[in-house]
Amino acid sequence: MNAIAEIFPPGEFLNEELEARGWTQTTLAEIMGRPTRLINEIVAGKKSITPETAVQLGDALGTGPELWMNLESQYQLSKVVRADGLIVRRAKLYERFPVREMIKQGWIEASKVVEVLEQQLRDFFSLKSLDDPIEFSHAARKTQAEAPANPLQFAWLFRARRLAAELKPTVAYSRQALEAALPRLAALRSAPEEARHVARLLAESGVRFVVVEPIPGSKIDGACFWLGAEPVVALSLRLDRIDNFWFVLRHEIEHVIREHGREGFVLDQDLEGTDATSEEERVANQAGQSFCVAEADMVDFMNRVGPFYSEQRVVGFASRLGIHPGLVVGQLQRRLDNYAFLRRYQAKIRSIVTATARTDGWGVIHSL
């Protein structure tokens, strides 16, 4: 084993140089044009060698300034006591997990003690070791190109599962009951405030419904997963619009009806910005779109009035269908690729939904 060389103060080397030359500290001070006290303090290790002093020492002793700056740097570094690898451990946590975002969301607590952070992350992600891969289930997958979820999305999923596990179902899940609830859910599309009934109707079908605020950058819209035989629908409500809410909700319900995600999870992100990449997503998208406005009705309306989509015609069409105008507007915005079109009809709905749903986010946690 190689012994670690002891690092001495630069002043000791300077004192040896003076002795070798037969110079006193006063002599060196006169040559450099500096106070004798400065040389005395450097030799005694009370004063650091500055770049200016290093240049003057190099000129006076013919050694060059680099020698003295290197000696000073090595000595100063040797005095720093490393925190026994704590910085390395903390950096590893921040590299692998969205620690700052999770603290901001209130999912874990900030701590200067790295062991506390490590334990919180093990508990949150159900890990025996922080070196273990994050697994939401035995066959985890997501909808986008069948790629694994990223750390931001995994954190959101685990938080959603925690909230769902805390709910106390009153009835067992029944596919027939959920399908029978669809017309009752459709009747709620007429006004934003009717969305307050969604959590209750899903619960009566045995579906656990939770809302979790998304971590910025995750682009999560919703997810479907199962706790044993009981399905969970989780929404992020990242887009606070009535049309997006009903589209994503019906999209996830279709995943439940078809038992998608039974062996893992279905994670839907950026549903408005991407086309379906799988058959599961295609049928779920179709269900969501038809739930907002039936395809036949939408095509008929566009054939009759396009391209003159006046506000009066749009509102009248929505009224005949018994739905809020925002649902028609949302369909037209996407089909016309004009997201400014009648934007004022995109009613906000988040506060209504979260008032009755098990929610974590936006500064509030509802335990319902």
DSSP code for 273: T
Lowest model confidence (mean pLDDT) among 81-95, 112-126, 212-226: 81-95
- Segment 300-324 shows an average pLDDT of 94
* CA–CA distances in Å: residue 340 to residues 148, 156, 242, 330: 34, 30, 15, 10
* CA distance linking residue 182 with residue 274, whole number of Å: 26
pLDDT on residue 364: 65
Residues ≥6 apart with Cβ < 8 Å to 60: 28, 31, 32
**10-79 fold:** 434 Repressor (Amino-terminal Domain) (1.10.260)
- Segment 246-269 shows an average pLDDT of 86
Q: Give residue for tokens 């038809």.
A: 290
- Segment 315-336 shows an average pLDDT of 95
What are the beta bridge partners of residue 151? Answer: none
Residue 261 confidence class, pLDDT cut points 50, 70, 90:
confident
Which ranges of 33-85 would DSSP assign to H, the alpha helix?
A: 36-43, 51-61, 65-79
The C-alpha angle 111, 113, 114, rounded to 5 degrees, equals 100
* CA distance linking residue 355 with residue 195, whole number of Å: 10
The C-alpha angle 308, 314, 319, rounded to 5 degrees, equals 150
Please classify residue 128 by burial: count the beta carbons closer than 10 Å to its beta carbon, then call 0-12 exposed, 13-18 middle and 19+ buried: exposed
**Tens digit of pLDDT for each residue in 15-73?**
999 999 999 999 999 999 999 999 999 999 899 999 999 999 999 999 989 999 999 99
pLDDT above 90 for 349: yes
Enumerate the domain spans of the chain: 10-79, 86-124, 144-294+347-366
Mean residue pLDDT of the chain comes to: 89
Residue 354 confidence class, pLDDT cut points 50, 70, 90:
very high
50 dihedral zone (left: phi>0; alpha: psi -120 to 50; beta): beta
pLDDT above 70 as % of the chain: 90
Residues ≥6 apart with Cβ < 8 Å to 84: none
* CA distance linking residue 38 with residue 25, whole number of Å: 9
pLDDT above 90 for 82: no
pLDDT above 90 for 267: no
pTM for this model (two decimals) = 0.78
pLDDT on residue 218: 86
